[in-house]
Structure 1
Amino acid sequence: MTFKRMIRSAFLASAVFVATASMASAAEKDEMFMGNFSGEHGATSHPAGMIDATLDAKSHELTYSIQWSGLSGAVNAAHFHGPANFDQDAGVVAPIDGPYTSPLKGKVKLDAKQIEELEAGKIYVNLHTAEHPNGEARAQLVKN
């Protein structure tokens, strides 16, 4: 192998290394999500509020802050649901621990499939009340 070829090979190898390292660091970047609450399941109340969330790329933890108002009564359960589009209902992905007072902050751990669903906009938060046990307010999470 000529000296010129050795230099070219070394250059190409380092370029591949840098590109791979850049892609890995981009894949490990935290992602931010948000959603605004609106009424659902025939709620006549006027729910308002939002969720802000950050997905830690390394730990797969979703750290959230939820604020709400305008519900028919106290929140007695809250969950992340999915996978579902805006006009669909879905099962529980992860419970949200109380006490259910606004603002509510916490963390949940997601698996790889749940992260894909979150990134695709198919995860939502549902707030449940005594008057609306199937959910009174919903916020679909979308990437910021």
Structure 2
Amino acid sequence: MIVRNLNDARKGERLVNSNGWDSTRLLLAGDNMGFSFHITRIHAGTSHEFHYKHHFESVYCISGNGEIEDLATGEVHQIEPGVMYALNLNDKHRLTARDEMVMACCFNPPVTGTEVHREDGSYAPAELAETA
């Protein structure tokens, strides 16, 4: 059994900070669960383009408000507490936060915890993640 406290995890290496967001990685590839689980905060008034070419992601909004835009179609969806979205087609997207958003995220394949977004908004493929 794995038990972790979010506040404790935010004090160590499991907290990854970036420009306009941070992510606390509660489950990682090394936990051998087949997915990773993160609590991510998107800072108010920020907008981010992501394109997870090598990962599938599902996201559940816990708090805050914003929108996600599918950059292939231009379709925009409002994000608020209780809304889930899944990037089942490795969708290139823009996530915009009107106020701070707290999101629960799952990645498959799981991330190792060392990933950073590459120039194209993606993470390296799982087999390259250790060296990315």
TM range (shorter): 0.3 to 0.5
Q: Which has the larger radius of gyration?
A: 1
Q: Please give the TM-score of this superposition, normalised by the length of structure 2.
A: 0.36
- Which is strand-richer, 1 or 2? 2
